[in-house]
């Protein structure tokens, strides 16, 4: 297991964090590039042109990144904008919501306590989502299935946006490629928001 809770797989490309010096799977790091003006910008989608500069997807690590470290990666002088970690968090939250929305449209996602509970009982759930500002008592009535992932790094309004509603507390995603992408991006967001693991449901094991 690498930093940020990312599982290392043999076939996944690895990159080196410019701050920690550690090498790990790309899925556990955030890519940055220098704009033509030399300004460091996050490349959440991994599509921006330029030399990729990688930092572990944890707020504390990104906040420690110095201009000199970015400059070495960019092979030239750079400027770090104010609030870079906040911008990474904002873009990651938007990306996670977009992916959940795509999963919903593909028929892989459900929301609402009863529908989520039914999905968990049926099996095949890949991700359990619960709002960070939802009732702790209500959240402990659900459980993370063995082999699934739990994320509580989105607010009720953010989950609502993902599901096309005003507010959502509980959501679940079935297994599928889109759900795997949610896992990858939500793990980064959790690192940026420093969210702990799942609450323990009565009679159920806590997700590790």
pLDDT in tens, 92-105: 999 999 999 999 99
Residue 8 scores a pLDDT above 80: no
Same domain, residue pair 130 and 170: yes
Per-residue b or e along 183-208, where b marks 16 or more CB atoms closer than 10 Å to that residue's CB? bbbbbbbbbbbeeeebbebeebeebe
Of 4-13, 67-76, 112-121, 155-164, where does mean pLDDT reach its minimum? 4-13
- The predicted pLDDT at position 205 comes to 38
- Whether residue 206 lies inside any domain: the answer is no
Is residue 171 very low, low, confident or very high in pLDDT (cuts 50, 70, 90)?
very high
- The predicted pLDDT at position 145 comes to 96
- Whether residue 188 lies inside any domain: the answer is yes
Q: Are 58 and 3 in contact (CB under 8 A)?
A: yes
Is residue 11 very low, low, confident or very high in pLDDT (cuts 50, 70, 90)?
confident
Instruction: Write down which residue in 81, 113, 135 finishes a domain.
Output: 81
For the chain, the average pLDDT equals 91
Same domain, residue pair 71 and 96: no
Calpha distance 195→108 (Å, rounded): 25
Same domain, residue pair 110 and 182: yes
- The predicted pLDDT at position 147 comes to 95
Residue 169 scores a pLDDT above 70: yes
Helix (H) or strand (E) segment spanning residue 41: strand 40-42
Report the pLDDT averaged over residues 19-32. 96
Same domain, residue pair 103 and 187: yes
Provide the token pair at 48. 């921006």
Provide the token pair at 202. 């009565």
Residue 12 scores a pLDDT above 90: no
Which of 114, 119, 115 is closest to 174 using CA atoms?
A: 119
Same domain, residue pair 70 and 165: no
Same domain, residue pair 106 and 37: no
Q: In percent, how much of the chain has pLDDT > 90?
A: 87
Calpha distance 18→195 (Å, rounded): 23
Same domain, residue pair 53 and 102: no
- Whether residue 202 lies inside any domain: the answer is no
Look-up: residue for tokens 């028929």?
A: 107
- Whether residue 156 lies inside any domain: the answer is yes
Is residue 195 very low, low, confident or very high in pLDDT (cuts 50, 70, 90)?
low
Same domain, residue pair 96 and 70: no
Give DSSP secondary structure letters for 147-169: T-EEE--S-HHHHHHHHTSS--S
Residue 208 scores a pLDDT above 70: no
Per-residue b or e along 57-87, where b marks 16 or more CB atoms closer than 10 Å to that residue's CB? bbbebbeebeeebbbebbeeebeeeeebbee
Secondary structure class of 129 (helix, strand, coil):
strand
Q: Are 191 and 89 in contact (CB under 8 A)?
A: no
Q: How many structural domains are present in the chain?
A: 2
- The predicted pLDDT at position 90 comes to 98
Q: Residue 28: which domain range?
A: 3-81
Residue 202 scores a pLDDT above 50: no
- The predicted pLDDT at position 206 comes to 40
- Whether residue 108 lies inside any domain: the answer is yes
Same domain, residue pair 67 and 92: no
Same domain, residue pair 111 and 43: no
- Whether residue 205 lies inside any domain: the answer is no
Instruction: Write down which residue in 81, 96, 121 finishes a domain.
Output: 81
- Whether residue 119 lies inside any domain: the answer is yes
Calpha distance 45→91 (Å, rounded): 9
- Whether residue 51 lies inside any domain: the answer is yes
| pLDDT tens digits for range 73-84 | 999 999 999 999
Same domain, residue pair 68 and 44: yes
Same domain, residue pair 7 and 53: yes
């Amino acid at each position: 297991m690498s930093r940020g809770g990312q599982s290392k797989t043999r076939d996944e490309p690895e990159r080196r964090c410019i701050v920690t010096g550690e090498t790990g799977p790309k899925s556990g790091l955030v890519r940055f590039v220098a704009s033509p003006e030399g300004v460091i910008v996050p490349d959440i989608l991994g599509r921006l042109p330029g030399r990729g500069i990688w930092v572990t997807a944890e707020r504390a690590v990104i906040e420690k990144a110095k201009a000199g470290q970015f400059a070495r990666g960019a092979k030239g002088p750079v400027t770090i904008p104010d609030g870079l970690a906040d911008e990474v968090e904002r873009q990651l939250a938007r990306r996670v919501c977009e992916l959940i929305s795509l999963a919903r449209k593909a028929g892989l996602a459900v929301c609402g306590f009863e529908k989520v509970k039914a999905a968990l009982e049926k099996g095949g759930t890949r991700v359990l989502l619960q709002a960070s500002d939802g009732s702790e008592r209500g959240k402990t009535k659900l459980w993370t299935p063995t082999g699934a992932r739990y994320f509580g790094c989105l607010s009720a309004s953010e989950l609502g946006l993902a599901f096309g509603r005003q507010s959502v507390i509980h959501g679940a995603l079935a297994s599928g490629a889109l759900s795997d992408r949610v896992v990858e991006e939500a793990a980064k967001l959790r690192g940026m928001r420093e969210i702990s693991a799942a609450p323990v449901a009565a009679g159920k094991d806590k997700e590790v």
